[in-house]
Amino acid sequence: MHKGAGANHWFIPDGYIPEKSSGELTSHESVCVLNRSSEDAQLTFTIFFEDREPLENILVTVPARRTSHVRTSSLERDGARIPVGVPYAIEVQSDIPVVVQYSRLDATQAANALMSVVAYPIA
Amino acid sequence: MHKGAGANHWFIPDGYIPEKSSGELTSHESVCVLNRSSEDAQLTFTIFFEDREPLENILVTVPARRTSHVRTSSLERDGARIPVGVPYAIEVQSDIPVVVQYSRLDATQAANALMSVVAYPIA
Amino acid sequence: MHKGAGANHWFIPDGYIPEKSSGELTSHESVCVLNRSSEDAQLTFTIFFEDREPLENILVTVPARRTSHVRTSSLERDGARIPVGVPYAIEVQSDIPVVVQYSRLDATQAANALMSVVAYPIA
Amino acid sequence: MHKGAGANHWFIPDGYIPEKSSGELTSHESVCVLNRSSEDAQLTFTIFFEDREPLENILVTVPARRTSHVRTSSLERDGARIPVGVPYAIEVQSDIPVVVQYSRLDATQAANALMSVVAYPIA
């Protein structure tokens, strides 16, 4: 049996899905989750906006001893998705400890630009 | 009622507003704040420079259950703003816990470049 | 004698070796380790995937008072390596405290893109 | 009187001064330090390499209530400097608490690439 590692609650204040892509790569964001334990992790995402109510209770499973690089454009609840070109923020809650990193590839201008942060954990 | 999360005091040592933009995007920096609590957050920014006194007491409100992606070029007190092309640093104090991330898009050279960090929190 | 500093256990959820390079630089990732102690550090890497069992027990030594910038494409055990173009995650365990940072240069599109994070430590 | 904030001891495992610049900007790295206290901070840098002894005891002062964005190419002791094109790592010790962030602009390929991390602190 492998123990879980990380934290149960993570935050990413700077979310943004670029509107455009040019060149060979497609603009996208990934929430990269590592579940090093022998149990599956049940994740709940909340999406916060600047000017409207949060989008709550988006569920994602990360299998035991696996990583999942979740495209934010794939997150969906009752047909509601994160709009492109809008600033937002992400909260991730997990039933067991996991580690969360956020990366964005912006290919708006043919030359790709990349950014990444380890999300902010709370106990 | 939703509880606040994060810390009340954050630091970003590497601030810099690029002087130029070319191509489709505009060079800018954002201080991205997430307030996940059910109360509004009152923020106070202090801007530190290499060669002059700090610019103090810049006030910003982040509403309850919202994120705010604050452009540093919009920060202002009594007409004083952060000059472009000058190294500076940012301190953010909040009356309730929030999470702070800093991102910069540099479009000086037509191809955009991106960097991001979660700010450094103290208790 | 110099004391070690850092942590014994680190995680990097967003690993990815780009498939292509163009222009002057080659796409690559580095796991950058600093061993500031007067003893050598023995590291064990585990690589996690989205859809298959982890690749375990890859051993690396970082000499006393040295840094090592380990190319992920060089990690190997019994002939097994990390495939290119596949999302994965990295766990690093060390017998003494070290500090770990992860950086990626993506040169897919002639213009290079760069990202970096300090890995996530646990005690 | 303003209190210091941050930590007295910081690490940056991934240091690298690019050999070339093209386009409008010059490749460089900055160690960005914020001293929010009312006293000057006395910093000592140690530079670690992959294949030779560390370069020790490089001294830098950051004045009270100021930030300093230190170019790594300016660090020098008895004429010894950090060579370009060589992987290295940075340790920063301070007599009072400060906050340290590291950023690199790589302009090797005309299009600029940017990365940044908050350094790893120990108590």
Q: Is residue B1 part of a domain?
A: no
- Measured between beta carbons, which residues in chain A are less than 8 angstroms from residue B116? 14, 104, 115-117
* Stretch B16-40: mean pLDDT: 88
Tokens coding C107:
């040169």
Neighbour subunits, D (≥3 Cβ pairs < 8 A): A, B, C
Q: Is residue B2 part of a domain?
A: no
Q: How many domains does chain D have?
A: 1
Q: Is residue B30 part of a domain?
A: yes
Residue with tokens 């340790």: D91
Give the mutation candidate from A44, A120, A122 for the B interface (greatest B CB count, under 10 A). A120
Tokens coding B94:
């909040």
Residues of chain C with pLDDT under 50: none
Tokens coding D25:
């900007």
Q: Report pLDDT digits (tens) over A18-32.
A: 887 676 667 889 999
Cα separation, B114 vs B26, whole angstroms: 12
Cβ–Cβ gap B122/D67 under 8 Å:
no
Any CB–CB contact under 8 A between C115 and chain D? yes
Contact B61, B100 (CB under 8 A): no
Residue with tokens 């909040």: B94
- Measured between beta carbons, which residues in chain B are less than 8 angstroms from residue A110? 111
Out of A56-70, C23-37, C44-58, D20-34, pick the least confident.
D20-34
Q: Is residue D43 part of a domain?
A: yes
The three-state secondary structure class of B105 is strand
Mean pLDDT of chain D: 93
Neighbour subunits, A (≥3 Cβ pairs < 8 A): B, C, D
DSSP codes joined into one string, chain D: -PPP-SEEEEEEEEE---S---SSS--EEEEEEEE-SSS-EEEEEEEEESSS--EEEEEEEE-TTEEEEEEGGG-EETTEEPPTT--EEEEEEEEEEEEEEEEEEEEEESEEEEEEEEPEEE-
Q: What per-residue confidence (pLDDT) applies to A24?
A: 64
Cα separation, B47 vs B57, whole angstroms: 9
Q: Is residue D56 part of a domain?
A: yes
Task: Output B25 or A37, whichever has higher pLDDT.
Answer: A37
Q: Report pLDDT digits (tens) over B72-101.
A: 999 999 999 999 999 999 999 999 999 999
**Amino acid sitting at position A66:** R
- Measured between beta carbons, which residues in chain D are less than 8 angstroms from residue A14? none
Any CB–CB contact under 8 A between C24 and chain A? no
Which residues fall within 8 angstroms of residue A52, CB to CB, at 6 or more apart?
Answer: none
Burial string for C12-41 (b: 16+ CB within 10 Å, else e) reads: bbbbbbbeebebebebbbbbbbbbbbeeeb
Q: pLDDT confidence of D110, banded at 50, 70, 90?
A: low
How many CB atoms sit inside 10 A of residue A73's CB? 15
Q: What per-residue confidence (pLDDT) applies to C3?
A: 94
Report the residue from A65, A107, A116 with minimal CB separation from C14: A116
Any CB–CB contact under 8 A between C120 and chain D? no
Task: Output C9 or B22, whichever has higher pLDDT.
Answer: C9
Cα separation, B21 vs B84, whole angstroms: 12
pLDDT beyond 70 at B110: no
Determine the distance in angstroms separating the CA of C23 from the nearest CA of chain B, rounded to an integer: 14
Any CB–CB contact under 8 A between A108 and chain B? yes
Any CB–CB contact under 8 A between D118 and chain A? no
Q: Is residue A48 part of a domain?
A: yes
- Measured between beta carbons, which residues in chain C are less than 8 angstroms from residue B111? 111
Q: What per-residue confidence (pLDDT) applies to B118?
A: 98
Secondary structure of chain C as H, E, C letters: CCCCCCEEEEEEEEECCCCCCCCCCCCEEEEEEEECCCCCEEEEEEEEECCCCCEEEEEEEECCCEEEEEEHHHCEECCEECCCCCCEEEEEEEEEEEEEEEEEEEEEECEEEEEEEECEEEC
Cα separation, B110 vs B112, whole angstroms: 6
Q: Is residue C1 part of a domain?
A: no
CA atoms within 13 A on the CB side of D30: 21
Question: The domain containing residue D30 runs over which residues?
Answer: 7-121
Determine the distance in angstroms separating the CA of D1 from the nearest CA of chain C, rounded to an integer: 32
Cα separation, D71 vs D30, whole angstroms: 5
What's the CATH number where C62 sits? Answer: 2.60.290.11
Helices (H), A53-96: none
Any CB–CB contact under 8 A between C14 and chain D? no
Cβ–Cβ gap B13/D116 under 8 Å:
no
- Measured between beta carbons, which residues in chain B are less than 8 angstroms from residue D117? 117
- Measured between beta carbons, which residues in chain A are less than 8 angstroms from residue C122? 5-6
Q: Is residue C2 part of a domain?
A: no
- Measured between beta carbons, which residues in chain D are less than 8 angstroms from residue C23? 109
Q: What per-residue confidence (pLDDT) applies to A19?
A: 84
Q: What per-residue confidence (pLDDT) applies to D95?
A: 98
Q: How many CB pairs under 8 A join C and D?
A: 94
**Percent of the residues in chain B that have a pLDDT greater than 70, as a whole number:** 94
Any CB–CB contact under 8 A between C68 and chain D? yes
Any CB–CB contact under 8 A between A114 and chain C? yes
